[in-house]
Amino acid sequence: MPLWLELVIRVGGVLVAFLTLPLLVGQAEHKVMAHMQGRLGPMYAGGFHGWAQLVADGVKFVQKEDVTPREADRAVFRLAPAVALVPYLLVLLVIPLGPDDLVGQPLDIGLFFVLAVVGVGVVAVLMSAWASANKYSLLGGLRGAAQLLGYELPLVLAAASVAMAAGTLSLSGIVEAWQPWWLLWQAPAMVVFFLAGLAEIRRPPFDMPVADSELVFGYMTEYTGLRFAFFLLAEYVGIVVIAALTTVLFLGGWQGPFADAQLGWLWTLLKVFAVSFLIIWIRVSYPRLREDQLQRLCWLVLVPVSLGQLVLTAAVRVAL
């Protein structure tokens, strides 16, 4: 197969995943929240089990007027939603779906690339907050910057633990080195990575930057129509990315019972959707953390636990 054709197929597959998986997660969130909270609305649109609820939401966003505040920095204001989306697209390029290079672009330093690109999300938050010329947006952006910069540390430390255990920064290499007993040995790192990932994508209970009861909607207050929809899409893509990284780093990726190289991609997708369901369940079940509680959890719990896990991993590697 010519190199250019292989490249087109790989990038095309990633684009399809980028456009479809977040919509499936969004539809699942509508249904899970409807069942868990007794919501009737999402169960009626389109008839059978509310199958058209997501379509209705899309039509609603398209119909809304695209408003830019008079005092806003228009160029930055309009660019921020795209900056929120692009890093997740780049991350999906290097996350392996299955064995035998079933990945958009295999990288020997894939984990390093992922952690570097995910950190760009704080730029979109600050861009939208500052450019909106709104005090609620600015407060939400500052909260978001403090949260994202703080939770980057436990996220990186937890990922470093599993990379040290596998002896590689390649995401495919980490999956190949993974053993079932890592579920116990690396469990603290997995919990830290998962919680820090929730904070990075600003999902409840880590949604202080968009606290609607205090800040209207934080850094997204002034956004309407499709630009607001792009921010929501970025959130759902973030769910897919965090679920996929948790799967690849800590849950064995394509490995599973009765593993078959031809069906490895199915195991990966099943695990990604299981972790995505957990993210949705946490949103429904737990209240928002206060700012002081959020920072205390980061610096007094997650950081010490991730440092302890690094020490444990180093000791086990030396012993083995």
Element spanning 154, H or E: helix 135-166
3-state helix, strand, coil in the chain (%, to 5): 75, 0, 25
- Indicate the domain borders of the chain: 66-317
C-alpha 50/C-alpha 30 separation (Å) is 9
Question: Residue 210's pLDDT is what?
Answer: 85
Tokens of 273: 């959707």
Grouped pLDDT means (10 residues each) for the chain, 320 residues: 77 87 88 81 75 80 82 88 90 87 82 90 88 88 88 94 92 90 91 94 88 78 87 91 94 78 80 94 89 92 95 87
Question: Residue 105's pLDDT is what?
Answer: 80
Paired strand residues for 102? 98
Question: Residue 15's pLDDT is what?
Answer: 87
Question: Residue 64's pLDDT is what?
Answer: 82
C-alpha 176/C-alpha 166 separation (Å) is 9
Backbone angles phi and psi of 102, in degrees to 5? -80, 70
Got the DSSP string for 182-251?
A: HHHHTHHHHHHHHHHHHHHTT-TTS-GGG-HHHHTTGGGTT--HHHHHHHHHHHHHHHHHHHHHHHHHHS
Largest Cα separation within the chain, whole Å, is 64
C-alpha 8/C-alpha 157 separation (Å) is 35
Question: Residue 1's pLDDT is what?
Answer: 67
